[in-house]
Amino acid sequence: MIRNIHRALRPGGILVISSPRPLSEIRSQFHEKELQFHEFKELLESHFSCVKPFFESNFFTSYIGDSAPPEIKNLIPITDRFEIGSADYFVFIASDRSLDERGPIEPLMVINDDSYILNLEKDVSVLRQAENAHIAELASLRQILNEKEVALTGLAALQANNQRLNSDKELLERENANLRDIGIRLDAVYRSTSWRISRPIRGLGRVLRRFRQTPSSHPSLPVSAPAQQLKSHSTVKHDVCGAPNSLDVLFLIGCWEGESKRYRVHNLVEGFHVAGYTTSVMGYGEARKIVENGLRPAVVVFFRAPFDARIGVVDVLDYCQANGIKTIFDIDDYVFEPDIINQIAGVDLLSASDRKQYEWGVRAYRALMMSTDIVTVTTPFLAERARELGRNVKVIPNSVNAAQKERARHLRTITDLSDDSIRIGYFSGSRTHARDFEQCAEALRNVLLSHSNVSLRIVGFLDLDERWDALSDRIERLGFMPYLDMLDSIRECDINLAPLEEKNPFCEAKSELKFFEAALVEVPTVSSRTGPFVAAIVDGETGFLASSEQEWHDKLVRLVSDAALRERLGRRACDAALSKFDNELVAASAAIAYGLELPHVSAVTMRDDALKIAWIIPGLIIGGGGHRNILRAAYHLERFGHDVRLYFIDTPQSAGELRRAVRQHFYPFDGKVRRFEGSVEGEDVIMATHWSTVAPAEKAADGSSQVFYFVQDFEPAFYAMGSDYILAENTYRRELYAITSGPWCERLLKSEYAMDADHFQFPIDRSIYFERPEIARKKRVIFFAKPDMPRRCFEIGVQALRALHKFRPEFEILLFGSNQVKNYDLGFPATVSGILPGIDDLAKLYASAYLGIAFSTTNPSLVPYEMMACGLPIVDLGRPGNEVNYGDHHDIALLAHPEPARMAAEIDALLSNEAELDARRRRGLEFAKTFPTEQEMARRVEALILQRVRKIVEAAG
């Protein structure tokens, strides 16, 4: 090429040519080769007699020269960039004529023109990919190290238990014969067509039998076998007459059959114990003794109990109301609505008398539910149904207990040495699940027919018709088993099935427990698209969702054919399950739902390398996104084992009021909460969280603590150019280490203020923000409208929407996010929703629209990312550098021209192009999948803090 250029030049012609300095990875697929300086120079000298080298630096501006400029005006260089080795581009002038004849070639510096930044985007992208690769490699190494540590710990525990197991073996063998006889009898009971559906009736029958006895002869209900398998200290268990008045929570169990009481009572009791709360458990038939013995728990929970005046429930409710005891009705099934009884599988199999008693039970559940202060349920679907009845409802999901976590931890260390055979597991339960199994039956049968290495394990009862006869040699049947043994059985499977009848209200109310119990042992699940499963499973990331026969078939085949995919989904599912369904976390949420005060005993065990971390926070804004981000990081750092304290400045609230507000409206934080009085308590790290907290943090540090800066916005832009702007800006010149929310602030602080900074990415709660195919999208454009926040550019959005309405009058325009919008004359028809009741409502709004608009000029909020996670294409401002917030891409969000008329035209063009709209929707969904969970975000913050502390310690020697 150089030879041809030389030949094409006229005599004495000049060639000006440049090339980027080579990096470790080629920046562009179009770069055949990136030349080192000496290679480039030698190549040109082989064809031209005169070659003069220059270099270009884009570090703080665009400068081209052959040495450092003699004078730099209006700029303060923060590092030496004036040398070939650190150049961004090599620039050569070549000719066969002496270049000196034309006079000196002056260096060129371009200031106040940021267009050169665009040329660096690909360089940044390469470096970011390399950084992510290193982070992923480090995480993998950490995981391997943790697994080895767990394996060593597990080995010691196994050796310690070996003697006990050997001594138990003989006893178990003797009991085995008895258990087989019991199993035969149980099998006969379970094969009864009405066994499962009449469970509430049997519980009510037991209550009626107690009522017929004299009060003095009421027997104490025994603790069930699963409850006895829990740690003995998981509940403060007393004779009812001697139960302490200092109890935090008293549970009354109304249904002893089945496993529900483990999920809804015993697992919570164990979590409460870890958190330091006192609890007790009684049978519902003993409820009257609350009054008789003058018990004064803070909360009484009626689990799956009917309203029955004959056992004294009226007196109990009156007593609780008179003594300020909060009453809670807890239910885990849709068994409080008479109108859906005919839609419940198995009801039509009941006798007339059994059906009549079942209907009475449904009405009795409903009656008690209407009589308590609060209702707690397992799923958002159940919560909506209860709210329709005017109840105050909280969602407390089912959870896993310590015994399950410990057994699963051990099972995950066992290496699978099996051949290429694949076992699919279906853990059924009773025969009432036949209609559920039909959702996947034909697809599953075809998978078995086409894959001879696949077998099916059925645990519980399931009737299979003659279609399955040809596969009988590959179908394994197991009976009911203890719940811990069931984990062993799941672990022996490669794929778990969780089919449910979609759109059936009873099934839509079912919780996600079939997912998270399989996830504990890293077995991936394929489930139906009922609400709880859609919320729990990120399709293709932590499991698979399927609706049609074809979808069930295709996703089962993918898992059957790809061991790496099964392993990846299983591992991610395990992480997701432990981050949401751990009974300690669920109990912490339940404590908030119950309104319990913080116990004196901390739920957190300090680590050996724990840091003392203080957060200095300006006030407390309920619902504030910035405060939620701060408190999210603080809460999880505490859960990771650090000693975390919160200090609030500029607030009239007392420490107690602040503690209650943090726990009620944000997170169940256990550590110290204080008003900032000018000093801290010798913490290792002090986190300044707003420009107004930097000076107090530095003063409180007094040389003994390290001050870090938690930056969520470019805060000077909150103000007009003036004193506040400069004062806020000055905090970026304090030589502090910054941890920024998102990459935009990191890049700005580094380039403009020479700060040492790293960023974490925004977290997305995928249990809330996800695609909802059941919600039809309307011709609707939604705008995050915040006239009270200038950085949200409310006026620009309104002007653009006014013009858009003229283009698209058929589209509904909906504004949300602030109740102040109703005070404005918009100049076009619009739906003004203000602040929505809850985040579920927000997610449903995102799922119902064609396009979302959200602006933020000081750093993006979570809003556009949560919109994308719901499958909503978005519009943001097309300002220089804004693409960094979308992975340095312009094809995810529509970065529209900031002039309102042109913005409206660009939005109109996008709405006219269905293919482009769908492409941006899909790219947005993929981009949203790269965002971390809350726990992952906090782990990143923790890693940055620890890394910085180690660096400081090493520098100090």
pLDDT in tens, 505-552: 888 888 999 999 999 999 999 999 999 999 899 999 899 999 999 999
Work out whether strand 279-283 and strand 249-253 pair parallel, antiparallel, or are unpaired.
parallel
3-state secondary structure 737-769: EEEEECHHHHHHHHHHHCCEEEEECCCCCCCCC
Residues 484 and 444: their CA atoms lie apart, in Å, by 27
Does the structure show a pLDDT above 60 at 234?
A: no
Does the structure show a pLDDT above 50 at 76?
A: no
pLDDT band at 149 (very low <50, low <70, confident <90, very high): low
Least confident segment among 226-235, 593-602, 761-770: 226-235
pLDDT confidence of residue 849? 96
pLDDT confidence of residue 132? 61
Q: Which amino acid would we find at residue 919? A: A
Work out whether strand 894-896 and strand 874-877 pair parallel, antiparallel, or are unpaired.
parallel
Average pLDDT, integer, range 459-487: 89
pLDDT confidence of residue 923? 95
Average pLDDT, integer, range 23-44: 78
**pTM strictly above 0.75:** no
Select from 857, 904, 895 the least CA-distant residue to 877: 895
Work out whether strand 326-331 and strand 374-377 pair parallel, antiparallel, or are unpaired.
parallel
Select from 560, 551, 488, 479 the least CA-distant residue to 524: 560
Select from 200, 464, 198, 205 the least CA-distant residue to 349: 198
Which one-letter DSSP state was computed for residue 214? -
Paired with 646 in beta bridges are 615, 673
pLDDT confidence of residue 146? 67
Q: Which pair of structure tokens corresponds to residue 808?
A: 């698209």
pLDDT confidence of residue 308? 86
pLDDT confidence of residue 215? 36
Residues 470 and 466: their CA atoms lie apart, in Å, by 8
Higher-pLDDT residue of 190 and 97 is 97
Average pLDDT, integer, range 232-236: 33
Concatenate the DSSP letters of all residues of 135-191 into one string.
HHHHHHHHHHHHHHHHHHHHHHHHHHHHHHHHHHHHHHHHHHHHHHHHHHHHHHHHT
Does the structure show a pLDDT above 80 at 887?
A: yes
Which one-letter DSSP state was computed for residue 27? S
pLDDT confidence of residue 115? 46
pLDDT band at 135 (very low <50, low <70, confident <90, very high): low
Q: What is the pLDDT of residues 349-404, one digit of tens each?
A: 667 777 777 787 888 899 999 999 999 999 999 999 999 999 999 999 999 998 89
Count the residues in the chain.
957
pLDDT band at 236 (very low <50, low <70, confident <90, very high): very low
Q: Which amino acid would we find at residue 305? A: A
pLDDT confidence of residue 186? 46
Higher-pLDDT residue of 90 and 648 is 648
> Which residues contact residue 897 at a Cβ distance below 8 angstroms, ignoring those fewer than 6 apart?
878, 903, 906
pLDDT confidence of residue 287? 92
Least confident segment among 185-194, 472-481, 846-855: 185-194
| C-alpha separations of 851 from 490, 541, 912 in Å | 43, 25, 12
DSSP 3-state assignment of 297? coil
Residues 381 and 332: their CA atoms lie apart, in Å, by 11
How much is the mean pLDDT over the chain?
A: 83
CB of 155 closer than 8 Å to CB of 409? no
> Which residues contact residue 615 at a Cβ distance below 8 angstroms, ignoring those fewer than 6 apart?
630, 634, 644, 645, 646, 647, 687, 689, 710
For 898, counting Cβ atoms within 10 Å of its Cβ (0-12 exposed, 13-18 middle, 19+ buried), the class is: middle
Average pLDDT, integer, range 237-246: 44
Q: Return the half-sphere exposure (C-beta side, CA atoms, 13 A cut-off) of residue 425.
A: 24
Does the structure show a pLDDT above 70 at 843?
A: yes
- Report how far Cα 122 is from the mean position of its chain's Cα atoms: 30
Burial 336-369 (b: 16+ CB within 10 A, else e): bbeebeeebbbbebbeeeebebbebbbebbbbbb
Residues 852 and 842: their CA atoms lie apart, in Å, by 12
pLDDT confidence of residue 192? 41
Least confident segment among 27-36, 481-490, 881-890, 925-934: 27-36
pLDDT band at 110 (very low <50, low <70, confident <90, very high): low
Average pLDDT, integer, range 320-330: 95
Average pLDDT, integer, range 824-848: 91
pLDDT band at 432 (very low <50, low <70, confident <90, very high): low
Number of H helices, E strands in the chain: 31, 30
Does the structure show a pLDDT above 60 at 242?
A: no
